[in-house]
């Protein structure tokens, strides 16, 4: 089924190949309290929620890379939009790797305290994105009839 290696490969491909950012594995550490979180839901034959949790600085780097703008030219909305799109791309590729018919929600992005929990109930990887912590976690995909 879907493995942590799959999650790492998809996440790194999105950040490195498309955005041209330096991505490396990073030792697991506690999340910073001011993290920005992007989440997306897969529902249907398989169900899971994917979350990206990272620093505002890393989110800004993602947005700069996607938009080709300087930090002064970008708004907070641009930064949230870009991080949400990263969640969308990772989520879409995960959905494509799962069998059956599932749907992908639109992403939502907010501050860490707007999301109920970052408890690790499934797969989680910690990456270093331009030396900033970048965590991708998801519930273990469960079939609809589980």
Partner 1 sequence: MKVLIVDDSKAMRMIIQRTLKQAGFGQHQYIEAENGKQALDIVDVERPDTILSDWNMPEMKGIELLRSLRDKGNQTRFGFITSESGADVLQEAKTAGAEFVITKPFTADRFAAELEKVLG
Q: Which residues bind partner 1 (CB under 8 A)?
A: 13-14, 17-18, 63, 66-69, 78, 81-82, 84-85, 88-89, 91-93, 95-96, 101-102, 104, 106
Nearer to partner 1, 78 or 118 (CB): 78
Q: Return the structure tokens found at 13.
A: 């491909």
Nearer to partner 1, 106 or 119 (CB): 106
Compute the least distance from the CB of residue 46 to partner 1, in Å: 11
Concatenate the DSSP letters of all residues of 95-116 into one string. Answer: HHHSSS-EEEPPPEEEEGGGSS
Nearer to partner 1, 17 or 131 (CB): 17
Compute the least distance from the CB of residue 45 to partner 1, in Å: 10
Burial class (CB in 10 A: 0-12, 13-18, 19+), 74: middle
Nearer to partner 1, 31 or 55 (CB): 55
Compute the least distance from the CB of residue 37 to partner 1, in Å: 17
* Helix-helix angle 76-97:56-67, to 10 degrees: 80
SS3 per-residue string spanning 6-38 = HHHHHHHHHHHHHCCCCEEECCCCCCCCCCEEE
């Amino acid at each position: 089924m879907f493995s942590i290696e799959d999650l790492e490969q998809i996440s790194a491909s999105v950040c490195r190949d498309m955005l041209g950012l330096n991505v490396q594995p990073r030792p697991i550490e506690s999340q910073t309290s001011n993290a920005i979180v992007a989440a997306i839901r897969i529902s249907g034959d398989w169900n899971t929620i994917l979350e990206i949790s990272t620093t505002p600085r890393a989110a800004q780097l993602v947005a700069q890379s996607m938009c080709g703008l300087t930090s002064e030219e970008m708004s907070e909305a641009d930064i949230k939009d870009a991080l949400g799109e990263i969640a969308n791309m990772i989520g879409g590729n995960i959905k494509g790797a799962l069998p059956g018919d599932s749907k992908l929600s639109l992403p939502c992005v907010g501050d860490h305290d707007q999301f109920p929990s970052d408890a690790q109930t499934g797969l989680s990887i910690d990456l270093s994105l331009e030396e900033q912590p970048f965590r991708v976690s998801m519930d273990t995909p469960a079939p609809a009839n589980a």
